[in-house]
Amino acid sequence: MLQKSLCLMLFLWFSVLPFDSSAKAPATNACTVTKAYYDRLLSGGSKSSEAELRLFMSLMPKGGDIHHHFSGATYAETYLDMIRKAGCWVNRNDYTVICPEDTGSLKDTLSVDNLRKDNRALAAFFSRWSDKDYFNHSHDTDPPDTQFFGTFAYFSKILSRNYPAFYKEGIGILKRRAKIENVQYLETMLVSSGYKKTDPAFDNAIRSAYGDERKFRSCLDNFMVLIQKDPGANDSVQRYRDLVNTCSEGVDDETFTLRYQSYVSRTLSPSEFFSGLYAAFQEASNSALVVGVNVVSAENNPVSMSDYRVQMQMFRYLKEKFPAVKTTMHAGELTMGMVRPEELAYHITDALFVAGAGRVGHGVDIAYENNAPMVLDYLRQKQVPIEVCLTSNEFILGVKGAAHPIDLYVRNGVPLVIATDDPGVSRNNLANEYLLLATRYGYSYDFIKQVVGNSIRHSFMSDQDKVRNSRLLQRKFDEFESRIAAFAAARNTRMR
């Protein structure tokens, strides 16, 4: 356990005394009592109460969730509501959305009302649109990564069906949930720019130019001129800005802030990837609400793997064109067996040293990277955080517990943030991620508070918003610790 000198003293003190010591604690000592209470819960071994620790994490302020996909955060139940409202149906064979204008037979469709009455079909729907019931009974399943990333194919049709109203509705639901969960900030990946320019000649040229910097840059220079002349690019950036503005109306308040990341999918061809990334940078540079750019989709996809280095160079190029735009990248969301061993050796390294990522999403393959010591040193010196998504990593990669590199990062002074990734697909929440952090790795309360603080400190919101949110977080911790001290006191009074 880290940072345990004070906590250890307190723990020893509370271990030999009845737990009612906290009952006598003055209000100003609420933080000390909370630490001792947390240590007591954590150190109980088989006698410890996971439910009580969950209660603790549920009430605890959790700052921001800054690795968060909007469509993957939306629960399948909400999508069913949207399908019903849109007057569409669900295909009873593959559980895709069917709408009135779709051609073909409607005999294989189920209305949402009938789907909800059919337990077997409803269970099958949830198992397609999320990870629900993946492990708890025997049935035919896709591999976890295929299952997880496959869910996203279902979402976009219904979201775009009532555009932008369903996006706004979804944001409202996520805000209400965040407030209930004591989360004050979401930095969500709302949607990709939707702009792409397909150009097979460019695809061939840029791939063959890789390794020749002058040729590579000249190829990008020429292609960017074409994009800038394309009215479709500007239209798409404008449409994105309108969507963001609509979704944000009336959302920020004294205790909640919402910001967005734009992104591009790494499974696209080079021309589509570069044009989409250009639009994403434009979006982030044109709106104060769009605070960063990301790259998404399965990292082990054949295109993601074969074009990884080309894509990192494209990222670098656009970062030079848009120096004020902040970037975070999914990188190292891989593990042994998923790809060939040599392909585990460089993704985080390139995301940092070629693309210049300001944060790293997942970073799970660090122990396989050739330059891991240098990467760890860089992350510590520059204080570049790793966005750790424990549930997602366990499901998609099968990496959990001691096999997860979280402690490798911590021991090397790399800042962490804890995030949900896709809580609607994974059917988890941020409290659950902190519960895993505590029970699996035994970190101290002081350390966990520091990780929560990182979610504001290392977010991409403006400095002014950070100051406001840091003050709010401090107030929230004061309230939380008073509440825990009172709860522990009452509990111990009853136990006498």
Name residues whose C-beta falls within 8 Å of residue 306's C-beta, 6 or more positions apart in sequence: none
Question: Which one, 289 or 295, has the nearer CB to Zn ion?
Answer: 295
Backbone angles phi, psi at 123, to 5 degrees: -65, -40
Which residue's Cβ has the minimum distance to Zn ion? 421
Question: Which one, 369 or 421, has the nearer CB to Zn ion?
Answer: 421
Question: Which one, 263 or 447, has the nearer CB to Zn ion?
Answer: 263
Smallest gap, in angstroms, from Cβ of residue 67 to Zn ion? 6
Smallest gap, in angstroms, from Cβ of residue 122 to Zn ion? 27
Q: Give me 330's structure tokens.
A: 């999914």
What DSSP string runs through 388-427? E-HHHHHHHH---GGGSTHHHHHHTT--EEE--B-HHHHT
Question: Which one, 70 or 477, has the nearer CB to Zn ion?
Answer: 70
Q: Are 25 and 32 in contact (CB under 8 A)?
A: yes
Question: Which one, 131 or 421, has the nearer CB to Zn ion?
Answer: 421
Name residues whose C-beta falls within 8 Å of residue 131's C-beta, 6 or more positions apart in sequence: 144, 147, 148, 151, 395, 425, 426, 427
What distance in Å separates the CA atoms of residue 346 and residue 368, rounded to the nearest whole number? 8
Q: Give me 149's structure tokens.
A: 């990333």
Smallest gap, in angstroms, from Cβ of residue 72 to Zn ion? 8
**DSSP letter (8 states) at residue 45:** G
Name the site residues for Zn ion (rule: CB under 5 A): 421
Smallest gap, in angstroms, from Cβ of residue 404 to Zn ion? 16
Q: Are 415 and 385 in contact (CB under 8 A)?
A: yes
| 180 class by beta-carbon count within 10 Å (0-12 exposed, 13-18 middle, 19+ buried) | exposed
- Which residue type occupies 318? L
Cβ count within 10 A of residue 394: 18
What distance in Å separates the CA atoms of residue 110 and residue 91, rounded to the nearest whole number? 6
Smallest gap, in angstroms, from Cβ of residue 446 to Zn ion? 28
Smallest gap, in angstroms, from Cβ of residue 245 to Zn ion? 24
- Beta strand 416-418 pairing with 97-98: unpaired
Question: Which one, 307 or 421, has the nearer CB to Zn ion?
Answer: 421
Smallest gap, in angstroms, from Cβ of residue 366 to Zn ion? 17
Name residues whose C-beta falls within 8 Å of residue 90's C-beta, 6 or more positions apart in sequence: 83, 96, 97, 98, 109, 110, 112, 115, 125
Smallest gap, in angstroms, from Cβ of residue 66 to Zn ion? 11
- Beta strand 386-388 pairing with 416-418: parallel
Smallest gap, in angstroms, from Cβ of residue 154 to Zn ion? 17
Question: Which one, 247 or 329, has the nearer CB to Zn ion?
Answer: 329
What distance in Å separates the CA atoms of residue 476 and residue 454, rounded to the nearest whole number? 15
Verify cis geometry, omega within 30 degrees of 0, for the bond prior to 164.
yes
Smallest gap, in angstroms, from Cβ of residue 276 to Zn ion? 17
Question: Which one, 65 or 421, has the nearer CB to Zn ion?
Answer: 421
Smallest gap, in angstroms, from Cβ of residue 248 to Zn ion? 22
Question: Which one, 61 or 385, has the nearer CB to Zn ion?
Answer: 385
Name residues whose C-beta falls within 8 Å of residue 433's C-beta, 6 or more positions apart in sequence: 389, 390, 391, 418, 419, 420
Name residues whose C-beta falls within 8 Å of residue 19's C-beta, 6 or more positions apart in sequence: 40, 488, 491, 492, 495
Name residues whose C-beta falls within 8 Å of residue 51's C-beta, 6 or more positions apart in sequence: none
Q: Is the dihedral of CA 161, 164, 165, 169 positive or negative?
A: positive
Smallest gap, in angstroms, from Cβ of residue 419 to Zn ion? 8
Q: Is the dihedral of CA 102, 107, 108, 114 positive or negative?
A: positive
Question: Which one, 197 or 458, has the nearer CB to Zn ion?
Answer: 458
Smallest gap, in angstroms, from Cβ of residue 411 to Zn ion? 25
Question: Which one, 365 or 421, has the nearer CB to Zn ion?
Answer: 421
Question: Which one, 89 or 395, has the nearer CB to Zn ion?
Answer: 395
Question: Which one, 35 or 69, has the nearer CB to Zn ion?
Answer: 69
Name residues whose C-beta falls within 8 Å of residue 92's C-beta, 6 or more positions apart in sequence: 108, 109, 110, 121
